């Protein structure tokens, strides 16, 4: 079973809309939990996405799509946002932040 096939995957993730990220899509973040892979984020076109509509993106050692499809323009924007927020994303994934609320508060949007 892949991450996108797990029906409970979205339950454990926090969604970050455009107002939090400055991106034209939704980014989903989570802590590691039982994952066997390194830190990832998920991307969807809307908050009402199903797992099959989501894109899984690894952020280490380099930002890359590992499942699903993302346009090169959207991937470029996501890379810029991840670079700006990589420390927060990694600390949240590793459970080093006290709460998801703290992670969301620390997220910075990209500028125009």
The whole-number pLDDT of residue 9 equals 54
The number of angstroms, rounded, from the C-alpha of 110 to the middle of its chain's C-alpha atoms is 14
DSSP characters over 73-88: HHHHHHHHHHHHHHHH
**Assessment of whether the complete model's pTM goes beyond 0.85:** yes
Q: Which of 8-17, 54-63, 65-74, 84-93 has the lowest mean pLDDT?
A: 8-17
pLDDT tens profile 83-96: 999 999 999 999 99
Strand-pairing partners, residue 26, are: 44
pLDDT tens profile 15-55: 999 999 999 999 999 999 888 899 999 999 998 888 889 99
Please, are residues 63 and 72 in contact by the beta-carbon 8 Å criterion? no
- Percentage above 90 pLDDT, the chain: 77
Identify the CA nearest to 28 among candidates 57, 69, 7: 57
CA distance 91 to 69: 26
């Amino acid at each position: 079973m892949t991450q996108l096939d797990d029906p409970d995957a979205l339950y454990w993730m926090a969604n970050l809309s455009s107002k939090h990220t400055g991106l034209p899509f939704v980014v989903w973040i989570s802590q590691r939990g039982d994952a066997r892979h390194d830190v990832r984020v998920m991307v969807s076109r809307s908050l009402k996405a199903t797992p099959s509509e989501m894109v899984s993106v690894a952020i280490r050692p380099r930002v890359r799509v590992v499942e699903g499809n993302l346009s090169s323009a959207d991937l470029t924007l996501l890379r810029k946002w991840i670079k700006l927020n990589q420390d927060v994303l990694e600390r949240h994934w590793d459970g080093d932040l006290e709460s998801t609320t703290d992670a969301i508060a620390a997220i910075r949007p990209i500028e125009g």
